[in-house]
Structure 1
Amino acid sequence: MTKTPRVIAAVALTATAGLLVSAAPAGATAVRYTPGAPGAGDPYFPDMGNGGYDVSHYDVGLKYDPATKGIQAVTAIKARATQNLSRFNLDFLGPLKISALRVNGAKAAYKRTGAQELEITPPKGLRENRKFTVTVAYSGVPHTINDDALGTSGWIPTADGAVMLNQPFGAATVYPVNDHPTDKATYSFTLTAPKDLTTLAGGDFAGKATKGGWTVSHWRMRQPMASELSMIAIGRYDVISSTAKGVPNITATDQGLGITAAQGQDFHRQTADIQDFLAANFGKYPFSSTGGIVAKAGVGYALETQGRPMYDLARRPGTIPRPGLIAHELAHQWFGDSVTPERWADIWLNEGFATYSEWMLAEKQDGKPVQESFDEVYATPADDDLWKPKTADPGRDNIFHGTVYDRGAMTLHALRKAIGEKDFAKLLKAWHTANRDGNASSQDFIRFSEKLSGEQLDALFQKWVYTSGKPSL
């Protein structure tokens, strides 16, 4: 094998904005560097994500100061260039002030542009397929997103701390990120707060230490995670830890909610029991730790944050999540977290499976057949708003619309009846197994269902997910 001569040359900026061309010795081809795309191409959220590179790992170190309600943070990113990059973007939203930014250890030029772009120009071009690192130091009070259609997300202050809930685009309020579900990565969190506060994140607990009045905790998400599923919680929590069939189970309840010790134990037990029920139907739990956090955040929703769902019960103090809600968020660990949609239009693949899991649990615990749950929803009048959006393309402002949840679950039941009990039971496990840790689309699911069952299913899915209006039975 012969080696290509190494070219060492200064990189010069041409007249075309963002284009770099490296000088080359006689006979060698000059390397052309171009900017990475400032978006991932998702029509619902054109500013989300970026092109030109693939992230493998985020290391987020964050210190919370109750006196200022702000943070001091350093995020280190490991990535690989997917083209010859002259510059690239990260998503970084809000007022956080950057104090230092380095690429491969060297100072890099940067500027904040557009809705949420952090545009970075390294001192020299980044070659395709080469790994590189980005380190950003910053501080301030993170931004909270209040979207009329999509609700509250991002960094959410609480009475004694904060939570970070990122669906669909809140991660960029807390750390620089390639903020689209198609660029999944592993994570580590190092969280520092006064010793009277608890710091929590998704993934495996990797230890903590207290010194000088501050406690530092370490968390590791060892399986690929979409940024919208990352989570941080800081505050006064009662924490319970155990192991459920070899999987660490960590649950926490906000002390400000008035949840008793017995209720906390019940929540912890139900988390393990319901997870076991889902694993019997969907296959082995996909992550190396589990649990759940009951918070007093005031956002009005629960979220399937990876490895440890978050349940906001600010409006229901003194209670714990109902079993159906636990089943919904834990089912997402398979459908939505481990197997993540390619585009936000495909979110019914998350919510349909999660809602169907509620129906399955109701059948097991309450003796209510899944068919009865289907019939109750189908009884909704034809002129109801439930039937208006297209399930597999609801529109940006409707990604959390009822049709995504209920009609998504109804689609799965219609599929069950079409392909039969045996093939449907196989499908529940095989779909996750085939796509674990990756991304998939509605069309991928349709093709997979057809191949597994041997049935032609275009008409079924056209009626249930690609057409608005109440489907006929």
Structure 2
Amino acid sequence: MSSLPSADDYLPGHGDRSWGARSYALDLTYGLEGNRLDGEARIEVEVLEPTDRLVLDLAGLDVAKVSVDGRPPAKFSTRRDRLVVKLRDDVEAGATLTLVVKYGGRPKPLVEKHHGDAGWEELTDGVIVAGQPHGAPTWFPCNDRPDDKATYRITVTTAAGYTVVSNGLLVERRRRGSGESWTYEMDAPMATYLATVQIGRYDIVEHDAPVPLVSAVPQGTARERSAAYDAGFGRQADMVRAFEGWFGPYPFASYAAVVTGDDLEIPLESQSLSTFGKNFVSEDWDQVRLVAHELAHQWFGNAVTLARWRDIWLHEGFACYSEWLWSEESGHESATWWAEHHHARLAEQDQDLVLADPGPELMFDDRVYKRGALALHVLRGAVGDEAFFALLRSWVAEHRGGSVTTEDFLAHASASTGADVGVLLYAWLTEAELPALPAPPV
């Protein structure tokens, strides 16, 4: 057998460019006691290059049955966290296929070099799925590359008394045997790493926001910690209104914030929802800012998604800068104050990171976040507020649902502002040495 494909050199062993998924329909049954997941994935496939096989990512789960257009394939096998489906005949580019995979097992996080563990993970009483960047294959077979976006219908059946939160709108909730079934639909294109399932004993708090917005919080905790809750999560509706003014309309049909009963090291990004540990319910700015950060990802990262992992600054730099904008909007320090503060801190650190290509070992380094935000602040200072925020709104509007690169952003920004943004940001994006921060305009 020939070697298996990789779609991105930052995440080897994931993704296949010979085909793309147009939709996933996942029907999952999960037993909390024993951590048992059984699933059927129905994937609508578009063939992009002539091929005689489909290679999918699936880690740590057993495959019981595969069909292609209702018939068994010539063969299927698993190899190094991949499912290889040998087709009965060669297929040409443009062909469409319906692939159905029945599978199951005891899911667990997948550990990758440089990126640690990600994926389906048990909590004290429930489950989280941390997809970024390589966790999707731990719970469903997929084409795990960030530029392969599809629509999703996700049904999860689990024990009664637990709440399931997933991407998109809840379209059905019903009893199924001794458990309860929850079905969510995400009709906007979504990358595999942004798909998620959260299971726990949660109360649902509704917010008066421009879009349907809820928080799922551990039962009984919403009132007990109201001051701490209100400082960040209680202001999500205000954040949406502010972000819509800066970035354009909220890009999805709903938004949810899940607060787990366990502490988590970092919040988790996913499309139309974000997940936080209970330790993020706090009046401290270092926790509040992350509520704004994860919400901002709905525009920058979810609606508009990188085509390759090297361009992660297009997500994290923008979300970090949104923290600074929200700080100023909510009566804390200004964006300029934060820029000067973090530039001074970065100047004391190692100068070995290239923002537009940090390498897989540094792609989630905090310097990517802060240097990306600084690059945007420099751009804002050069073109002025009116042109800068018009640029952000047009960037999202024109690329919503798509996949982009740094080169795309530079071309768009130059066309939008009339400035040569590639030259303006050249040192920020391509040189390891931290550029000087221009003096703020008078």
SS in 2 for 1:354: helix
Residue of structure 2 equivalent to 1:134: 99
Inter-CA distance 377–84: structure 2 relative to 1 (3 Å threshold): same
Letter in 2 for 1:49: G
Cα deviation, 1:293-344, whole Å, max 9, x if unaligned, reads 112455411122100111123x567889943211111111000101001111
2:426 pairs with 1:426: no
Give yes or no for the alignment of 1:361 onto 2:321.
no
Q: 1:185-204 alignment to 2 at 5 Å? A: 185-204=150-169
Structure 1 residue 83, shift from structure 2 partner: 2.6
CA contact (8 A) 2:24 2:153 kept: yes
> Structure 2 matches for 1:358-437, cutoff 5 A?
358-380=323-345, 382-385=347-350, 387-437=351-401
Query: How far 1:85 sits from its partner (Å)?
Result: 2.3
Report the equivalent of 1:64. Answer: 30
Distance 1:231 1:405, change over 3 A: same
Task: Specify the structure having the higher radius of gyration (Cα).
Answer: 1
Match of 1:53 in 2: 19
Distance in 1 (alpha carbons) for counterparts of 2:44 and 2:111: 30
Question: Deviation of residue 262 (structure 1)?
Answer: 3.9
Q: Which residue of 2 aligns with 1:471?
A: 435
Instruction: Report what 2:128 is aligned to.
Output: 163
Q: Structure 2: which amino acid aligns with 1:395? A: G
Query: What residue is the counterpart of 1:39 in the other structure?
Result: 6
Q: Work out whether residues 257 and 318 of structure 1, in 8 Å CA contact, stay in contact via their aligned partners in 2.
A: no
Match of 2:190 in 1: 225
The offset of 1:106, in angstroms, is: 0.8
**Secondary structure of the structure 1 residue equivalent to 2:90:** coil
Q: Within 5 Å, which residues of 2 pair with 1:99-248? A: 99-108=64-73, 109-114=75-80, 116-147=81-112, 149-241=114-206, 244-245=209-210, 247-248=211-212
Q: Distance in 1 between matches of 2:204 and 2:364?
A: 30
Aligned residue among 216, 225, 231 for 1:252: 216
Alignment of 1:431-470 (within 5 A): 431-470=395-434
Segment of structure 1 superposing worse, 449-458 or 101-110: 449-458
Distance 2:119 2:397 in 1: 31
- The answer as to whether partners of 2:229 and 2:281 remain within 8 angstroms in 1 is no
TM norm structure 1 = 0.86
What is the identity, as a one-letter code, of the residue corresponding to 1:403?
Answer: R
> Does residue 83 in structure 1 map to residue 35 in structure 2?
no
8 A contact 2:162–2:200 mirrored in 1: yes
- SS of 2:198 mapped into structure 1: strand
Q: Which amino acid aligns with 1:365?
A: S
Instruction: Confirm or deny: 8 A CA contact 2:203 2:220 kept in the other structure.
Output: no
Determine if contact 2:252/2:272 at 8 Å carries over to the other structure.
Answer: yes
Q: Distance in 2 between matches of 1:192 and 1:253?
A: 20
Question: CA offset at residue 130 of structure 1?
Answer: 2.0
Query: Which residue of structure 2 aligns with residue 74 of structure 1?
Result: 40
Q: How many residues align?
A: 434
The 1:233–1:120 alpha-carbon spacing in structure 2 relative to 1, beyond 3 Å, is same
Counterpart of 1:291 in structure 2: which amino acid? Answer: A
Q: 1:262 to 1:299 in 2, by over 3 A?
A: closer
* AA of the residue aligned to 1:373: W
Distance in 1 between residues matched to 2:176 and 2:9, nearest whole Å: 48
Q: Does the CA-based 8 Å contact 1:363-1:370 persist in structure 2?
A: yes
Partner of residue 440, structure 2: none
Q: From the superposition, tell whether residues 84 and 192 of structure 1 become closer, same or farther in structure 2 (CA, over 3 Å).
A: same
Secondary structure in 2 matching 1:252: strand
Q: CA deviation at 1:155?
A: 0.7
CA drift of 1:126 comes to 2.9
Deviates more, 1:204-213 or 1:389-398: 204-213
Cα 1:256–1:152 change in 2 (3 A) is: farther
Counterpart CA distance in 2 for 1:55 and 1:272 is: 33
Give how far 1:347 is off: 0.4
**Which residue identity is paired with 1:89?**
V
Q: Is residue 20–residue 47 contact of structure 2 (8 Å, CA) maintained in 1?
A: yes
Bigger mean CA offset, 236-245 vs 167-176: 236-245
Provide closer, same or farther for how the CA distance between residues 384 and 433 of structure 1 changes in structure 2, counting only shifts above 3 A: same
Moved more, 145-154 or 226-235: 145-154
What is the deviation of 1:460?
A: 2.6
**267-276 or 394-403: bigger deviation:** 267-276
Moved over 3 A (4+): 146-149, 255-259, 261-269, 296-299, 315-323
Q: 1:289 aligns with which of 254, 268, 281?
A: 254
Counterpart secondary structure, 2:52: coil
Q: Which has the higher contact order (CA 8 A, sep 6+)?
A: 2
Task: Return closer, same or farther for 1:310/1:369 CA change in 2, 3 Å cut-off.
Answer: same
2:411 maps to amino acid: R
Distance 2:271 2:430 in 1: 29
8 Å CA contact 1:268, 1:291 repeated in 2: no
CA distance in 2, matches of 1:141, 1:304: 24
Taking a change above 3 Å as real, the CA distance of residues 318 and 432 of structure 1, as seen in their structure-2 partners, is closer
Query: Which of 63, 68, 72 pairs up with 1:98?
Result: 63
- 1:84-126 C-alpha deviation (Å, 9 max, x unpaired): 32111001112x1111111111112111123x22111122333
Task: Kindly indicate whether residue 301 of structure 2 is the aligned counterpart of residue 326 of structure 1.
Answer: no
Question: Displacement, 1:244?
Answer: 2.6
Partner Cα separation in structure 2 for residue 264 and residue 202 of structure 1 = 26
SS at match of 1:45: coil
Q: Which deviates more from structure 2 when the two are superposed, residues 206-215 or residues 258-267?
A: 258-267
What's the CA shift for 1:148? Answer: 6.5
**Helix, strand or coil at the partner of 2:39:** strand
CA distance in structure 1 between the aligned counterparts of 2:50 and 2:306, rounded to whole angstroms: 28
So what's the TM-score if we normalise by structure 2?
0.92
1:348 correspondence with 2:299:
no
Aligned to 2:273: 308
> 1:367: how far off?
4.3
Which whole-Å CA distance do the structure 2 matches of 1:77 and 1:53 have between them?
11
- Name the aligned partner's letter for residue 39 of structure 1: S
Contact 2:49 2:92 in 1 (8 A): yes
Amino acid at match of 2:425: F
Q: 1:143·1:173 contact (CA, 8 Å) conserved in 2? A: yes
